[in-house]
Amino acid sequence: MGEMATERASKNGSGTNGHSASMIKVTAPATGEVLGEVPVMGESEVRSIVARARAAQKPWASLPIEERCELVLRYKEAIVERSDEVVDLLARECGKPKHEGLAHEVMIVADIAAYFAKIAPKLLAPREVPMHLLKHRKAMLHYVPRGVVAVISPWNFPFQLPLRDILLALIAGNSCVLKPSEITPLIALKAKQIWDEAGLPPDVFQVVTGYGPTGAALIDAGIQFCVLTGSVATGKRVAAACGERLIPCVMELGGKAPFIACADVDVERTARGIVYGAFANAGQVCISIERVYAHREVHDRLLSRVVELTRELKMGDPATDYVDVGAMIFPKQMDIAEAHIQDAVSKGARIEVGGKRRSGPGQFFEPTVLSNCNHSMSVMTGEIFGPVVPFMAVSSDEEALAHANESHLGLNAYVFSGDRDHGRRVAERVEAGSVLVNDVLINGGMPEAPFGGIKQSGFGRVMSDESLREMCDVRHVNVEKLSMPSDPFWFPYNEKSYTMFRKGLKALFGGGSLLDRLKGLL
């Protein structure tokens, strides 16, 4: 087991991070403590797991949807019951503050389960689409589960992100195979353990562990739908692999969220919003505030308040203390933050606070605020995915919008204004999948609203009614309501039938009054 996967891991650059060939060693980012080991699964193992998922899918789909919803609610209750266990593991495996483990992960999963279990029976019921022209027929749409859904997920929200998609897939009648990040597999196995221990059908939700090649093997194992949440580079590889097999997919990729502070903002609340939106989860959020465009009228006051608030943040091991900022997931993430800062400083940016990793055990990077930034600096254009927020002063909303839209990414964006209508008007012009006015990050927990990106942030959406339906194939069954005396579209073709169609075309779609058109028909 695992040889094929490891061999391919080094070929495509995924690497094994120095772990042994067939096992992944999982360590705590805040302490370096070894938390456990999981196997690197190879092609044959992945195939047999997908085969089990396929076999389990039919009986699962044959349950009435209300029953599947009941079972998902049972899972939700088990998660809530065991939330301390989940939050504790998130703190240890991910370095995530406990408040965030609870509010950003467990609570969102519980809400998604409750929300969709309630609305799914109605949303996925067969529905009629009225025929506007061919009124003698009736179109019925049936939402048929796709089969086996692959969910490939990252390490930054290792509980919420995969379960968000898995719960919808399961409610819709699919079975699921999850390939969690190689960095945080234990929390995925915990989600699976809670599922199994709640007495739910084990094979409809399974987990395969390993590096990128295990994910690639999953795409090749006979799945019918794939949701990837990850980096742009992985998105390109996964979308290509899905394309080659014509597997429909959703790509939830990186972000570079701009934050526009208009001239009339409430400085105190805006500063608090920036500090939370930039440093929650140590900035390792796809919708983190990654660049601030502040109007010159408020720029200096806003910057100095953000700096003060940043100095007050408490950083430390979230497993043993209630801290605001936890650890960074691995050293590479700190290298990226450092490289952005060095590049910015070399081009004239100032470090207002932070700017370096903390010495001592664990992977901690000081929350950092940079000023005097511009678009020649990589910190304003490339994804940081760390606790670094660069400020740039602008003279108008137009200038802020031009810079905000000057990006190859477009996931989330933020506009703050003292006048919410003004804020909305500016927000409507930002090129992004979601734009929040006077709030930050909160749309990650809005199951009603579609979530996803444009440009290289990906395509397709998660959450929302559309996303639940997207977990299904649409089967259009069309039946006759009335029998016609003849079938005008069928053979034979002759001059008479051609003339009739030409008159029909003019009567239906030609110019002039209705009366004139009807006269033409006669």
As annotated, the active-site residues are 252, 286
Size, binding site for ligand NAD by CB under 6 A: 30
Judged by CB under 6 A, the stretch of 64-72, 105-113, 178-186, 501-509 that binds ligand NAD is 178-186
> Does residue 282 contact residue 328 with C-beta atoms inside 8 Å?
yes
Query: Using CB atoms within 10 A of its CB, is residue 358 exposed (0-12), middle (13-18) or buried (19+)?
Result: middle
Among 19, 68, 98, 237, binds ligand NAD (CB under 6 A): 237
Least CB distance from residue 360 to ligand NAD, whole Å?
25
Least CB distance from residue 209 to ligand NAD, whole Å?
10
Verify binding: residue 160, ligand NAD, rule CB under 6 A. no
Query: Using CB atoms within 10 A of its CB, is residue 484 exposed (0-12), middle (13-18) or buried (19+)?
Result: exposed
Judged by CB under 6 A, the stretch of 86-94, 163-171, 229-237, 511-519 that binds ligand NAD is 229-237
Verify binding: residue 152, ligand NAD, rule CB under 6 A. yes
Nearest to residue 255, comparing CAs of 392, 368, 414, 446?
414
In the bound state with ligand NAD, the residue whose beta carbon lies nearer, of 195 and 211, is 211
Amino acid letter at 158? P
Strand order in the sheet with 412-416: 350-353, 368-371, 388-394, 289-295, 257-261, 412-416, 434-437
> Does residue 263 contact residue 240 with C-beta atoms inside 8 Å?
no
Q: Where are the beta strands (DSSP E) in 51-195?
A: 127-129, 137-145, 148-152, 175-179
Verify binding: residue 364, ligand NAD, rule CB under 6 A. no
Verify binding: residue 234, ligand NAD, rule CB under 6 A. yes
Verify binding: residue 212, ligand NAD, rule CB under 6 A. yes
Beta bridge partners of 437: 415
Judged by CB under 6 A, the stretch of 209-217, 293-301, 308-316, 484-492 that binds ligand NAD is 209-217
Cα–Cα distance, 237 to 230 (Å, whole number): 11
Verify binding: residue 211, ligand NAD, rule CB under 6 A. yes
Size of the chain in residues: 522
In the bound state with ligand NAD, the residue whose beta carbon lies nearer, of 97 and 235, is 235
> Does residue 197 contact residue 120 with C-beta atoms inside 8 Å?
no
Verify binding: residue 440, ligand NAD, rule CB under 6 A. no
Nearest to residue 180, comparing CAs of 108, 228, 146, 236?
228
Verify binding: residue 289, ligand NAD, rule CB under 6 A. no
Among 45, 383, 397, 470, binds ligand NAD (CB under 6 A): 383
In the bound state with ligand NAD, the residue whose beta carbon lies nearer, of 276 and 304, is 276
Determine the distance from the C-alpha atom of residue 196 to the mean position of all C-alpha atoms in its chain, rounded to a whole number: 25
Verify binding: residue 255, ligand NAD, rule CB under 6 A. yes
Verify binding: residue 16, ligand NAD, rule CB under 6 A. no
Residue span 409-438 as binding mask against ligand NAD, x where in contact by CB under 6 A, dash where not: --x---------------------------
Least CB distance from residue 278 to ligand NAD, whole Å?
14
Cα–Cα distance, 78 to 154 (Å, whole number): 24
| Residue whose Cβ sits closest to ligand NAD | 215
Q: Is 9 helix (H, G, I), strand (E, B) or coil?
A: helix
In the bound state with ligand NAD, the residue whose beta carbon lies nearer, of 101 and 212, is 212
Among 29, 145, 173, 254, binds ligand NAD (CB under 6 A): 254
- CA 477 to each of CA 188, 224, 411: distance values in angstroms, whole numbers, following the listed order: 39, 21, 36
Determine the distance from the C-alpha atom of residue 210 to the mean position of all C-alpha atoms in its chain, rounded to a whole number: 21
Question: What residue ranges bind ligand NAD (CB under 6 A)?
Answer: 14, 152-156, 161, 179, 181-182, 211-212, 215-216, 229-231, 234, 237-238, 252-255, 286, 383, 385, 411, 453, 458
